[in-house]
Structure 1
Amino acid sequence: MISAFTYLACVTGRNREGKETELLYVDRIYTDVHTFLVFMAAVASWMLTFGVGFHLSSVTAAVIYVSMILSIDVFIGLSYMLSMIRQIKRRQIVKNSLLFKIYIALKNFIKLSYNGKVFKAWTLLLLLAYGLVNGILFSAVIQGRHEGFFRFVFFVILWLAFNGFSIYLSAKPLISLAQIMATAKEISKGNLDYTSDTAAISAPFSDFAGDILNIQDGLKEAVSEAVKGERMKADLITNVSHDLKTPLTSIINYVDLLKKEDLKNENAIGYIGILEEKSSRLKQLIEDLIEASKASSGNIPISVEKVNLHELVMQACGEYEEKFKKASLDMRIDSSDKNIFISADGKHMWRIMENLLSNAVKYSMPSSRVYINIDKDDSCGTVTIKNISALPLNIPPEQLTERFVRGDPSRTTEGSGLGLSIAQSLSSLQGGKFRIYIDGDLFKAAVEIPLWHEN
Structure 2
Amino acid sequence: MIYLSLILFVIVIFLGYRKFYIERQITSLIKQLSEINKNKDRRKVTLGLSNKRLEILGELINESIDIRIQSEAERIKVEKDLRQTIANMSHDLRTPLTSIIGYLQLLKLDDADKAEKNEYLHTAEHRAKSLEVLLNDFYELSLIESLDYELNMEKLNISKVLQQIVLDRYSDFMERNIRPSINIPDKNFYIIAEKKSIERVIENILTNAIKYAKDAIDVSLTQEQGKLIITISNTFTNLSEKDMASLFDRFYMADKSRSGKGTGLGLAIAKGLVEKMDGSITAKINDDRFKICCCFKASI
Judge same fold: TM > 0.5, yes or no.
yes
Name the amino acid aligned to 2:142.
Answer: S
Matches of 2:258 and 2:249, distance apart in 1: 16
Cα shift at 1:433: 0.9
Alpha-carbon distance in 2 for matches of 1:338, 1:327 = 30
Residue number in structure 1 paired with 2:3: none
AA paired with 2:297? P
Q: Which residue of 1 aligns with 2:141?
A: 292
Equivalences for residues 389-400 of structure 1 within 5 A = 389-400=236-247
Counterpart secondary structure, 1:409:
coil
Give me the whole-angstrom Cα distance separating, in 1, the residues matched to 2:240 and 2:288. Answer: 6
Aligned position for 1:121: none
In 1, are the aligned partners of 2:219 and 2:231 still within 8 Å (CA)?
A: yes
Unaligned regions of 5+ residues in structure 1, if any? 1-106, 119-201
Q: Which amino acid aligns with 1:381?
A: L
Question: Are positions 1:213 and 2:123 aligned together?
Answer: no
> Does 1:271 pair with 2:120?
yes
1:443 equivalent in alignment to 2:290: yes
TM-score (norm 1): 0.47
8 A contact 2:163–2:184 mirrored in 1: no
Cα gap change, 1:222 to 1:288, in 2 (>3 Å) = farther
Aligned to 2:267: 420
Structure number with the higher strand fraction is 2
TM-score (norm 2): 0.68
Contact 1:362 1:413 in 2 (8 A): no
Instruction: Tell me the CA shift for residue 422 of structure 1.
Output: 1.3
Pairwise CA distance, 1:268: 1.2
Aligned residues: 245
Q: Which has the larger radius of gyration?
A: 1
Closer, same or farther: CA 116–203 of 1 in aligned 2, 3 Å:
farther
Which structure would you say has the larger RCO, counting Cα contacts within 8 Å and 6 or more residues apart? 2
Aligned to 1:307: 156
Counterpart residue type for residue 21 of structure 2: K
Report the alpha carbon displacement of residue 387 of structure 1 after superposing the two structures with TM: 0.6
Post-superposition offset of 1:216: 2.8
Secondary structure of the residue aligned to 2:128 is: helix
Residue identity opposite 2:182 in structure 1? I
1:112 CA displacement: 6.5
Q: 1: distance between equivalents of 2:68 and 2:26?
A: 27
Distance across 2 between alignment mates of 1:212 and 1:421: 39
Shift in CA distance, 205/417, structure 1 to aligned 2, threshold 3 Å: farther
Provide the rounded CA distance (Å) in 2 between the counterparts of 1:228 and 1:304.
34
> Deviation digits for residues 22-54 of structure 1, max 9, x if unmatched?
xxxxxxxxxxxxxxxxxxxxxxxxxxxxxxxxx
Deviation, 1:369, is 1.2
Provide the C-alpha distance between the structure 2 equivalents of 1:351 and 1:301, rounded to a whole number of angstroms: 15
Residue 111 (str. 1) matches residue 29 (str. 2): no
- For structure 2, the residue ranges without an aligned partner over 5 or more in a row are 1-16, 29-48
Structure 2 CA distance for partners of 1:361 and 1:299, relative to 1, 3 Å: farther
